[in-house]
Amino acid sequence: MLEESPGTKIDTVLSKLGKALEKGDIDAVVNLFQADCYWRDLVTFTWNLRTLEGRDQIRDMLTHQLAAIAPSGFRQDEKEVASEDDGVTQGWFEFETGAARGYGHIRLKNGLIWTLLTTMSELKGHEEPKGPMRPKGVQHGHDRARTTWSEKRAQEAAELGYKTQPDVVIIGGGQGGIALGARLRQLGVPTIIIEKNDRPGDSWRKRYKSLCLHDPVWYDHLPYIPFPENWPIFSPKDKIGDWLEMYTKVMELNYWNSTTCKSASYDETTKEWTVVVNRNGEDVVLKPRQLVLATGMSGKANIPVFKGQDVFKGEQQHSSQHPGPDAYKGKKVVVIGSNNSAHDICAALWEAGADVTMVQRSSTHIVRSDSLMEVTLGGLYSEQAVAAGITTRKADLIFASIPYRILPEFQIPLYETMKERDADFYAALEKAGFMHDWGVDGSGLFMKYLRRGSGYYIDVGACDLVIDGSIKLKSGTDVDQLTETGVRLQDGTELPADLVVYATGYGSMNGWAADLISRDVADKVGKCWGLGSDTPKDPGPWEGELRNMWKPTQQEALWFHGGNLHQSRHYSLYLALQLKARQAGLETPVYGLQERHHLS
């Protein structure tokens, strides 16, 4: 008997799955999954971002959702070839629900479903005007009352927020707010982006001068407009700033720069927000139905409190306030911290001729940029991946198809490879006294990023300066206090300083909600980011998805959007579709609204 092809295996299971779902036969659906199984749903079935682990959770979701969702039309994507490797068969499929069209990925073991990804692609009747639906852009014929495109844009800009109200207000005009604003624009959702800086991109321009993206260009595209083919692999901050400014204009976003948000409150009766902003010295009251905080996944700057900060005669800055090294040639600088910003700032200060000391208070995970590119990202985000037909969308979906519970299993072997490949580098780093780790379970950088958003550095050269002593290192001790002339450590070491930089990270994003709305609302929503992995700085219980990100929260009509450029691009689609559905008045029965377990 001939062995079935991978495509035939996928077809067989998808046919059974589709028929069982259409019939409402939940038992038949559940029996298609193996005992150790995962169903990750991005909006289509749950109107949420949820990962269901095991048959019982899948059964519970379908019991609550199946009748309302009305899925149908499960069919393998003919443009993609199913594959089989090491006993796992995988393929791509399309499907529909009553409200939307979806796309998914499936993995089989022994003929049963191991992992299933279902994602919403578009809402029926609310498709983006692209491809065959592309707008004409001009009205042919004769019309004495004709208005030009620029006149229409000027009128919209003058009236939105004054004569007419936006449906969505986005607080924060960095890459997250801009990407989401572009998605909403294409979906016809009136949106205003509020940004305190003078120009789009200033959130990058105003950081320290050596800042650049440590992620490669293939990982960083924005929606609709990818970077050109000659764009550098690692983008300098000012180049990114200019790109964001261009993008904001070309994508016709209603972007209120030089505007600060003073307060926001939600009326449970009218189901609308009252958002007070100051624009051009004048208070403006906005009345959106939905409010999005896109103020960065890292939240508010975390500035530690040490005895003596009030008596220190030099300068003190958080890393987010550090202007760069130019004013500190010949000066003594102490940088508290040992993650990305700390290394970047220390290296730039050394290049400028400063005498710089890094204080490492706890262990840090280091991965060399070249190794990260080749070993972990190369298969999905690289020139080779593009040549192999891995589009940005496909790469995003492949990555999204791996449930967070088992993602460490996929990551650990990659970091074992890097550990061997760069053994001499790590030996030299540890010989210099640097405390290094691979994450609590050896799963490396991306799991640390998901769990806590900190604790790592992608090395682009600063580590060589630590190894050879050009950047002085004090590790394994904390700050005792600041004196008039420097920093005293708990081990008794005195570090003279003209400048102290606190590269000490950021708090939870709900800290912004406390400032803009109220502490009660911030506490109602709870901690943002993290998976509930019960690892350092990511307390349990297990969530299975990032807390409060891109999905409904315990505060009605309040959303959080952020992350790196990859996440801002990929998850902005699912957040935009959720917002569009509400604007259009569609039924959005949310399954598994996240509970609050931690305040921040």
What is the full DSSP assignment across 306-333?
A: -BTTTT--SEEEEGGG---SGGGTT-EE
- Could you tell me which residue, 145 or 12, shows the higher pLDDT? 12
- C-alpha closest to that of 15 among 84, 113, 109, 81: 113
Of 502, 528, 552, which residue constitutes the final position of a domain? Answer: 502
Q: What is the pLDDT of residues 25-51, one digit of tens each?
A: 999 999 999 999 999 999 999 999 999
Residue 377, pLDDT above cutoff 80: yes
Do the strands 72-76 and 83-85 form a parallel or antiparallel pair, or are they unpaired?
Answer: unpaired
Q: What is the pLDDT of residues 399-413, one digit of tens each?
A: 999 999 999 999 999
pLDDT band for position 145 (cuts 50, 70, 90):
confident
First and final CA of the chain: distance in angstroms? 59
pLDDT for 2: 58
Cα-flanking dihedrals φ and ψ of residue 435, to 5°?
-85, 115
- Give the Cα separation of 45 and 552 in Å (integer): 14
- 69: CATH: 3.10.450.50
Of 474, 502, 530, which residue constitutes the final position of a domain? Answer: 502
Hunting for tokens 């450590």 — which residue is that?
489
Secondary structure (3-state) at 232: coil
Secondary structure (3-state) at 476: coil
Which range (18-22, 126-130, 135-139, 200-204) has the least confidence?
135-139
* 475 and 331 within one domain: yes
Domains held by the chain: number: 3
* 249 and 192 within one domain: yes
* 322 and 182 within one domain: no
Residue 446 lies in a domain: yes
- Amino acid identity, residue 334? V
Tokens matching residue 435: 């405390």
Share of the chain above pLDDT 70, in %: 99
Helices 444-452/407-421 angle, 10° precision: 130
pLDDT band for position 6 (cuts 50, 70, 90):
very high
Domain, as residue range, for 580: 151-299+507-584
- 229: CATH: 3.50.50.60
Hunting for tokens 């042919």 — which residue is that?
140
Residue 595 lies in a domain: no
Q: What is the pTM of this model?
A: 0.96
